[in-house]
Copies of this chain bind each other. A is one copy, B any other.
Amino acid sequence: MTADFQDWARSHQVRIENSLQTLLPAADVAPERLHEAMRYTVLGGGKRVRPLLAFAAGELNKANEERVTIAAIAVELIHVYSLVHDDLPCMDDDVLRRGKPTCHIEYGEAIALLTGDSLQSLAFQLLAEYSLADTPKMQLEMIRRLAQAAGSRGMAGGQAVDLASVGRTLSLPELEFMHIHKTGALIRAAVMLGAYCGSRLDEAQLAALDHFAKCIGLAFQVVDDVLDAEATTAALGKTAGKDAENNKPTYVSILGSKRARELAEELRREAYASLEMFEAAAGRLRQVTDFIIHREF
């Protein structure tokens, strides 16, 4: 990671954090406990990978950063809601997330359920409330994209496949299907929403960008599996080794660590290739790609 990228990432993480502080309901507004729980789960945590992708995609076509901030936050809120629900006892039953007790450990299951539900609503509220694209029609397309990415044929659908896979042996294509939905759909939405905030891209550019996003979505998950298998709980800020413990199929359990790392590298090359037509304008997207593939937590 170059120092230039570190500065950029840091400043955009701060921008996201500050905007979230303002956009989330204050903890002294009724219902206080729910708002407190929403702030607890969203603020001060995470690498903000999806927002960084949205900002980097926005640099392709000179998107206004205030617009991208809202779009990036909407995607991040969907991501955090999914973590809160995923950690519930009826799902992964996890107690640690981003180095803190999970939402239901801190606030109880009922409030955690409502926290996730409310974060999803807030994401769509923000996308509808602010002016984010050159036309309201394009903005509707952003909402449609995010809703589809979040729903049963996107992220939530991927979680359903994940549930059904516990204890089963999956083939590599089945594992890929699961992750394209569970993680990939939202990462694609982050990239596309960032780009929609800027000047219009042509069909070929949108297709290339979408293929780029698919590649890094998968690469992200492959690296996640490697880290889950190899890193410590302290380094991850969430419980390590959960996949093996839960008997969940992963890229590491199917391919082994070495081959999984190679696969991540292949996906990185394919992602880079998709960006060629953008030349220098895709510099930031290349840096975020490297960050995703070479991260250690």
A residues adjacent to B (C-beta < 8 A): 25, 29-31, 33-35, 38, 81-82, 85, 88, 90-91, 108-111, 113-114, 116-118, 120-122, 124-125, 127-129, 135-137, 139-141, 143-144, 147-148, 150-154, 156-157, 159-161, 163-164, 177
B164 touches A122 (CB 8 A): no
Judging by beta carbons under 8 Å apart, are B121 and A151 in contact?
A: yes
Q: Give the one of A35, A113, A117 with max B CB within 10 A.
A: A117
What would be 27 A-B contacts, judged by CB atoms less than 8 Å apart? A30-B157, A31-B160, A33-B160, A33-B164, A34-B152, A34-B156, A34-B160, A35-B152, A38-B152, A90-B113, A91-B113, A110-B163, A114-B152, A117-B117, A117-B151, A118-B152, A120-B120, A121-B150, A121-B151, A121-B156, A125-B148, A125-B151, A128-B141, A128-B143, A128-B144, A136-B137, A140-B143
Contact B30 A118 (CB under 8 A): no
Contact B121–A144 (Cβ < 8 Å): no
Number of copies: 2
For the complex of A and B, 10 pairs with smallest distance between CB atoms: A121-B151, A125-B147, A90-B109, A136-B136, A128-B144, A118-B152, A128-B143, A34-B160, A31-B160, A124-B147
Q: How far apart are the CA atoms of A159 and B128 in the complex, in Å? A: 24
A31, B114: Cβ atoms under 8 Å? no
Knowing A25-B152, A157-B118, say if A125 contacts B139 (CB, 8 Å). no
Q: Tell me if A121 and B118 are in contact (CB < 8 A).
A: no
A39 to chain B, nearest CB (A): 11
**Residue A116 contacts which of B29, B88, B117 (CB distance < 8 angstroms)?**
B117
Known: A125-B151, A140-B143. 18 other contacts (CB 8 A): A31-B164, A34-B152, A34-B160, A88-B90, A88-B113, A90-B108, A114-B159, A114-B163, A116-B117, A118-B152, A118-B156, A120-B120, A120-B121, A121-B154, A124-B124, A124-B143, A128-B143, A135-B136
- Report B-chain residues with C-beta under 8 Å of the C-beta of A116: 117
The chain B residue sitting closest to A25, CB to CB, is B152
Complexed CA–CA distance, A143 and B152 (Å): 20
